[in-house]
Every structure is written in C-alpha cells, then in structure tokens.
Amino acid sequence: MKYYIGVTDNAWFKFLAERQPDEVNFWQPGGTVTFRVLSPGELFLFKLHAPLNFIVGGGFFVKHSLVPLSLAWEAFGEKNGTATLNTFREKVISYRGRNASFEPDPTIGCIILAQPFFLDRAEWIPVPTDWKPNIVQGKTYSNDDQIGAALWNQVQERLLRHKFSNAEVVSVAEETVRYGAEYLTKARLGQGAFRVLVTDAYSRRCAMTGEKTLPVLESAHIKPYASSGPHSVNNGLLLRSDLHKLFDLGYITLTTDYHVEVSNRIKEEYENGRDYYALQGKSLISLPHEPLYRPSRQYIDWHNNNVYLP
C-alpha cells in the first residue's frame, strides 16, 4: 500500500490534537496545484517541522479540492486547525504573502482526511532514515519496500497499543485496498467532506436548476443525518439554498429516475410558487459522472415516503 508523509504546521497539529475531530482539512495556501499522490482511502501521515522530526498522526485521504477559503471554513470550521475564520484567513495570507490580503476570497487547496488520529508524545515515530532535511511538502512511501514497510508497521503498532476511539483505522487501511472506487460510499465521512464532495460531484451546479453561483449552493442530504442518513455522496444533492429548504420541508422531491416532483401544497399554503412549478417533471440538470455517487433509490424512496407532502 502507498502512503504519504506530509509536513505539518506544528500549531495546526496541536490545535486539532486537543480537539480530536472526526475529520480534518490539511489545507494548502496555494490554490492552483492539485494533490494527485494518493487515492481515496490511502494513508496520509503528519510530520512536524524540524527540529521535531517525528511522525505524530495521520488520517485517511478522501479527496483534494480547490475551493474558496469561505467554503473551506463553512465546510470544516475549526477542523481547519484554527479557532476563527479571521485567524484562518490570516494563516493563509501569512503563507501566500501580504498581496493575498487584497483577495476577498482566495482559493486554497483542501486535502480532506477522514478518521484522523493524533499520537501522544511518547508514541511519536522518528522520520524514516531516508528523509531529507530539504523536503518541504512531503514524500510518498510504500509498504512494498523495506523502509516503507518498517514505518507502516510502527504506525499500526502505535494504533493497536494506544486505545484510540477510532483505532479501527488500522483495519480500514487494509479494507480500502478492496473497496477501490467504492471507498467514498463506504467510508465514514464527516459533514465537511460531505459538503465538498457533493459540491464537486455535481460540478458546482444546482442539480435542479444548473445555478453556478457557489455561495448560494448547499449540499442537501436526501435522508437527513438526524434520521440515520449517511454523509455519503449518493445520499446528497447540490441545491440552490431555497430549493434545499423546500426539499427538507417536503415541498419538493425526486423520482427514482431523477425527475423533479413539486407538491401542490406550495400553492395551497402560500398561493404562489410559479417558479417552482416550472420545475415539475423536469430531469435533473446536473448529476455526478460516477454512477456510484448518483442519488440512491433507497434514499429517494425514504424521502418520498417520509418527507414529501403529496
């Protein structure tokens, strides 16, 4: 299995280690380069800046996405490694240079990691023997070679020895090899990952109208998380904010062949709704290219039977 060691901001690590979140955004200040090193489910390890040359934790790679800073904060909040949006912005600007302060909403890189773990100080692992001091961003390893396998075994040993609440990440690492393309439908994703994954899966367009204005687009659960609906892409729709609200309240739904259904209750209760009735019977304009990520019939049926107001 391939994995990656990324050089980590020490303050970022300390902040998140104290909070133990269910997901993290290992963000990059630049907004142009795509991270292509890992596939979903592969391991991303954290290495502190010198002189603390240790592996101190990690998480499982979900996706890399280039998004506006505001969306990264909306999706992840403190899971970006800062307490406030202003602090987050200042961190980004400090890396990009003061000219970035003139950008109202700079694009940054988001390496989204699920099931992160943070090792106690006594469990930190020295960097591999071939690690060079001039490595700035990170390096790829594999458990197929001697050095990579030795580090891989140390990581698993730490997780097994230390009783983390998410210690099952050890077995997850092995299972992801079998999951392949299905990883993002099986992994335990967080709310932030759901927000970004659904946004990207629908090509940043409202599924019903094709609207592309990102600030008004929201990732909607078909079966709500509060009703045991998962944070999986096939339980999501990217909708304009007003359509999201109507969908959640049951005034709009989908058919299993991806057509829009609009309830008569809008007209009965509000004596209006002409713009919404124009959607009646229309096919979704935007759908994920990957069939695994398209709305699941199971969740659509649940919404029709439990939420929709006929």
Residues 104-121 as b or e (16 or more Cβ within 10 Å = b): eebbbbbbbbbbbbbbee
197 falls within a domain: no
The dihedral sign for the CA sequence 147, 148, 151, 152: negative
Pairing of strands 260-262, 252-254: antiparallel
Q: Is the peptide bond before 230 cis (omega within 30 degrees of 0)?
A: no
The CATH number of whichever domain residue 106 belongs to comes to 2.30.130.30
Using the 3D structure, point to which of 151, 186, 221 is the last residue of a domain: 186
Q: What is the pTM of this model?
A: 0.90
38 and 158: one domain? yes
Domains of the chain: total: 2
Q: Do residues 59 and 127 share a domain?
A: yes
Question: Do 300 and 266 belong together in one domain?
Answer: yes
The residues of the chain scoring below 70 in pLDDT are: 98-101, 162-187
**What does the pLDDT read at residue 166?**
45
pLDDT for 221-238, tens place per residue? 999 999 999 999 999 999
* Domain interval for residue 286: 202-306
Burial code of 39-66, b = ≥16 C-beta within 10 A, e = fewer? ebbbbbbbbbeeeeebbbbbbbbbbbbb
What's CA 156's distance to the chain center, in Å?
Answer: 24
The reply to whether 144 and 214 lie within a common domain is no
Q: 262-292: per-residue pLDDT in tens?
A: 999 999 999 889 999 999 999 999 999 999 9
Tell me, what amino acid is at 171?
S
Specify the pairing of strand 2-8 against strand 43-48.
parallel
Q: What is the pLDDT of residue 185?
A: 59
Q: Are residues 16 and 54 in the same domain?
A: yes
Short-list 213, 211, 223, CA closest to 253 = 223
Residue appearing with tokens 């592996």:
55
pLDDT at 160: 79
133 C-beta neighbours (distance < 10 Å), count? 8
Q: 217 — alpha (psi -120 to 50), left (phi > 0) or beta?
A: beta
Whether residue 191 is contained in a domain is answered as no
Q: What is the pLDDT of residue 31?
A: 79
Q: What are the tens digits of pLDDT across the range 24-36? A: 999 999 878 899 9
